[in-house]
Chains A and B, each alone.
Chain A
Amino acid sequence: MAAPVGTGARAEDSGHEKQDFQEKESVIPERAEEAKLKAKYPNLGQKPGGSDFLMKRLQKGQKYFDSGDYNMAKAKMKNKQLPTAGPDKNLVTGDHIPKPQDLPQRKSSLVASKLAG
């Protein structure tokens, strides 16, 4: 049974409420996709378009490095290695202290565009 694809597809009128609900889940592909996502990530927030998501968008490009944290941590761990930044280099520092080598090089592209060549 091919699910009709479209915006706001309504569940078919049927006498059986339970069947109604199940049909709705399969009739609306978005809901099925939502169920898939929730199954994979059970802790996913309730409001996807809400504050957290938008705040992340507004903070694009933010790089944190606190020299105070860095120097304190260096003083604390005289001989030991400083904890290095994990795979997510954009984490707020504190425990994760990026070394200069970890920071992505800021390139400046003075090379001509290949569209012009």
Chain B
Amino acid sequence: MAGVAGGGGNGNDFQWCFSQVKGAVDEDVAEADIISTVEFNYSGDLLATGDKGGRVVIFQREQENKSRPHSRGEYNVYSTFQSHEPEFDYLKSLEIEEKINKIRWLPQQNAAHFLLSTNDKTIKLWKISERDKRAEGYNLKDEDGRLRDPFKITALRVPILKPMDLMVEASPRRIFANAHTYHINSISVNSDHETYLSADDLRINLWHLEITDRSFNIVDIKPANMEELTEVITAAEFHPHHCNVFVYSSSKGTIRLCDMRSSALCDRHSKFFEEPEDPSSRSFFSEIISSISDVKFSHSGRYMMTRDYLSVKVWDLNMENRPVETYQVHEYLRSKLCSLYENDCIFDKFECCWNGSDGAIMTGSYNNFFRMFDRNTRRDITLEASRESSKPRAILKPRKVCTGGKRKKDEINVDSLDFNKKILHTAWHPMENIIAVAATNNLYIFQDKIN
């Protein structure tokens, strides 16, 4: 039973076990409850989710408890708040969804935690802070909060701090609005910890975290004549170490790397990554399935990974003409493209992620399946996020899809896959083998087996 080597770097096989599942069990899924983004913070102690209803829920990992050795750091609710609300732009007759497209954590600099959350039009900086003390013994007001009559005060006292039940408060500290005509698909915090970028279909803007009334446009691919529009920006990310470098991917399957030192407007790329296409295999679907839905730098900063409809590709930043590795996610769908076009599934945007050591990558598929690839051993595994395999510490069984007529036991036929159960969003703990998988309105957390 193959596992996928994880963050240890020593090539050991790991076995993934069910840890927790969050969310409602009922069959009827409310649209607002559909999870739209999942993100661990830099330490992995906090896990944030955003949903279509504009809400953010943050889970915190419990400290490992010696008296409960099996609990192994469970994630429990830490804070929840309404980040965005539905809006209507009357001038443009445009409905603005409250759906949270992306959440990105800022590196922690003090006791409070900060994150950026964005919908289609507005980015917000949220501060999440703890309050566990309360001051008592004020001079000018009594314990109920009512003002005391100043003429009746005869003695002065010094208020003292008393402990109280932990309260976690979320407050919006900055609102970055009105900078995007089109729909925001990405935000990325820079390694300088002072700036971040936001990307929509045609433009990328650079912001300073302290300044909300100004942003710099750094990429603009809008043609003078919209009839000439041939591609849109699908994702963008800053390099993890070089604060002047970022990449953006397109609907045509290309990636451009830009250096902000070369010019103020980075319309001309420094590097252009594109895999040559075999002209004899071109079809109506070629461009659609080559559209890149996610791009992520490796932690090392040496590689980047792109996700298109059927595969995940790893690129070496030093080689532009082809990826160094290509992994097929669900190649059996290639002969189903006609129906996937008809039901719009061909436009689904899957994300991908690296593990902490960059030795493994993970991405989602249909039928609540998700895939993991070990870059060192070249082994891959398909796992399923389902309530059936949700017993505590139950080891996940590998899944297999068959295409032909003969179906082996435990295999599932491609025609029986549920295309409404899509895993678009997954996240891997930055250091440990803990993964979070969003299956529509449920969040699954899996961990590797303790030996």
User: Which A residues are closer than 8 A to B by beta carbons?
Assistant: 2-3, 5-11, 24, 28-34, 36-38, 40, 44, 48-51, 54-55, 57-58, 60-65, 106-117
B183 close to A106 (CB less than 8 A): no
20 contacts between A and B (CB under 8 A): A5-B334, A5-B335, A28-B283, A29-B337, A33-B335, A33-B338, A34-B283, A48-B288, A49-B230, A49-B291, A55-B226, A57-B201, A60-B183, A63-B95, A109-B82, A113-B53, A113-B80, A114-B24, A114-B33, A115-B443
Q: Which residues of B contact A (CB under 8 A)?
A: 22-24, 32-33, 35, 49, 51, 53-55, 57, 77, 80, 82, 85-86, 88, 92-98, 120, 182-183, 201-202, 226-232, 251-252, 277-278, 280-281, 283-288, 291, 311, 326, 331-332, 334-338, 341-342, 404, 441, 443
Nearest CB to that of A62 among chain B residues? Answer: B94
CA distance A106 to B89 in the complex (A): 13
User: What's the Cα separation between A31 and B98 when bound, in Å?
Assistant: 39
| B23–A114 CB distance below 8 A | yes
Q: Is the CB of A57 within 8 A of B232?
A: yes
Q: Is the CB of A24 within 8 A of B280?
A: yes
By a CB distance below 8 angstroms, the chain A residues around B95 are: 61-63, 106
* Docked pose: A29 CA to B95 CA in angstroms: 39
Contact B280 A30 (CB under 8 A): no
Residue of A whose beta carbon sits closest to that of B222: A58
Query: A37 to B94, Cβ gap below 8 A?
Result: no
Q: Which of B80, B183, B336 contacts A116 (CB 8 A)?
A: B80
Query: Given A37-B338, A108-B86, A115-B49, A61–B94 Cβ distance below 8 Å?
Result: yes
- Residues of chain B with a CB closer than 8 A to A48's CB: 284-285, 287-288
Cβ A63 vs Cβ B280 within 8 A:
no
Report how far A40 CA is from B343 CA in the complex, Å. 14
Q: Which residues of B contact A108 (CB under 8 A)?
A: 85-86, 98
Distance to closest chain B CB from A6 (angstroms): 7
Give chain B residues whose Cβ lies under 8 Å from the Cβ of A24. 280
Which residue of chain B has its CB nearest to the CB of A49? B287
Q: How many A-B residue pairs have CB under 8 A?
A: 148
Docked-complex contact A61 and B120, CB < 8 angstroms: yes
**Contact A33 to B281, CB < 8 A, known contacts A58-B182, A58-B201, A116-B77:** no
Q: Return chain A residues, CB-CB under 8 Å to B55.
A: 109, 112-113
Residue on B with the closest CB to A27?
Answer: B281
> A29-B335, A61-B120, A113-B33 known; A7 and B278 CB under 8 Å?
yes
Which 5 pairs show the lowest CB-CB distances between chains A and B? A8-B278, A49-B287, A109-B53, A29-B335, A30-B283
- Beyond the given pairs A40-B338, A108-B86, A109-B32, 11 more chain A to chain B contacts, judged by CB atoms under 8 angstroms and listed by A's residue number, are A34-B284, A36-B338, A38-B284, A55-B226, A58-B182, A61-B95, A61-B97, A62-B94, A106-B88, A107-B32, A115-B443
CA distance A58 to B57 in the complex (A): 29
Complex-state Cα separation, A113 to B81, whole angstroms: 9
Max chain B Cβ within 10 angstroms of own Cβ: one of A28, A61, A115: A115
Please tell me if the beta carbons of A51 and B227 are within 8 angstroms of each other in the complex: yes
A28, A49, A64: which has the most chain B beta carbons within 10 Å? A49
Q: Whole-angstrom distance between the alpha carbons of A10 and B95 in the complex?
A: 47
Cα A28 to Cα B228 with chains together (Å) = 31
On chain B, the residues within 8 Å of A33 by CB distance are 283, 285, 334-338
- Identity of the chain A residue whose Cβ is nearest the Cβ of B96 in the assembled complex: A61
Nearest CB to that of B24 among chain A residues? A114
Residue in chain B with minimal CB distance to A38:
B284
Contact, CB under 8 Å: B96 / A58: no
Q: What residues on B are CB-neighbors of A29 within 8 Å?
A: 334-335, 337
Task: Assess the A37–B284 pair: CB atoms within 8 A.
Answer: yes
User: Do B82 and A110 touch (CB < 8 A)?
Assistant: yes
Given known pairs A48-B284, A55-B226, the reply for A65 and B201 (CB within 8 Å) is: no
- Is there an interface contact between A63 and B230, defined as CB atoms closer than 8 Å? no
**B312 → chain A closest CB, angstroms:** 13
> Smallest Cβ distance from B290 to chain A, in angstroms?
9
> Which of B33, B232, B332, B334 counts the most A-chain CB atoms under 10 A from its CB?
B334
Measured CB to CB, the closest approach of chain B to A12, in angstroms, equals 12
Residues of A near B281 (CB, < 8 A) are: 7-9, 28, 30
Closest CB-CB distance, A63 to chain B, in whole Å?
Answer: 5
In the complex formed, the residue of A with least CB distance to B25 is: A114
Nearest CB of B to A39, in Å: 9
**Across the interface, which residues of B come within 8 angstroms of A111, CB to CB?**
32, 53
